[in-house]
Amino acid sequence: MASRAEAAPRRAVVTGASSGIGAATVRLFRSHGWDVLAVARRAAKLEALAAETGADVLVADITDAADVSALAARVEELGGADVLVNNAGGAFGSASVEESDVDDWRAMFEVNVIGTKRVVAALLPHLRRRAATAGSADIVTVTSTAGHVAYENGGGYNAAKFAEHALVGALRLELNGEPIRVVEIAPGLVKTDEFALTRFRGDEDKAAAVYDNVPEPLVAEDVAEAIVHSVELPPHVNLDLVTIRPVAQSAQHKLARGTLTPRV
């Protein structure tokens, strides 16, 4: 087995890489000297990211089996991967369990759960091969605090993210005995350009209200720092679960708005 220093340059595969947390993660990996394969559906945004960072890119939809097969083939062409970052996901709709659209639930399960499963299954052989030569590999999945605590009008997203959290836990047990770390990053309130806007069907006022008067919500770069840090630790150290929230958010239902002030 080659030492890490003797192995091929480290490569990360990042899904959902065209914007938000995914794009920030690609940028940070590249700034740390990693090779990166950035994966997303939107070609124009990927091309811009490639021009900016020098990352390799692949247009693919993780809910499409043929696209995921193409992803695995591309990883093989590039020579393998050390790290998979399952970041692709999303929330659609904000209605109650009673009134929400079943198609929204189906779409959330497809991208957050089934898509993650597809990519993990497709890339595990490549990660195992890299672990055999370099000594370790990593699977990092970006879930959400919505996958740990339910809240009103979030039932579909809660259900999908709870399921993704369970997938990660089962995978960690199944890979016990192999030098492959399984990391879950569970962000709370993160202000990005698209997440809330997508959830509220492009309603800019509703999307803005989520972050209104919240002192310093997380931004994509904060979550990217946690992702990259988790895989740059010594390979015997596993961050099973990282819950990352802004200081203003003490819990899923407890969010301060306005200036944070010491009680003196």
Catalytic site positions: 157
Instruction: Give the C-alpha distances (Å, rounded to integers) separating 111 from 65, 92, 135, 215.
Output: 12, 11, 31, 31
Instruction: Give the C-alpha separation, 229 to 155, whole Å.
Output: 31
Give the closest residue to 90 by CA, choosing from 73, 108, 114, 75: 108
Residue 29 tokens, joined: 């990996």
Cα-based angle 31, 33, 36 (whole degrees, multiple of 5):
90
Q: Residue 29: helix, strand or coil by DSSP?
A: helix
Give the closest residue to 4 by CA, choosing from 38, 37, 36, 34: 34
Which ranges in the chain belong to alpha helices (H)? 20-31, 43-53, 65-78, 102-109, 115-134, 155-174, 195-199, 204-211, 220-232
Residue 84 tokens, joined: 């998979």
Q: Give 236's contacts (C-beta < 8 A, 6+ positions apart).
A: none
Q: Residue 162: helix, strand or coil by DSSP?
A: helix
Residue 107 tokens, joined: 């779409």
Report whether 147 contacts 165 (CB < 8 A).
yes
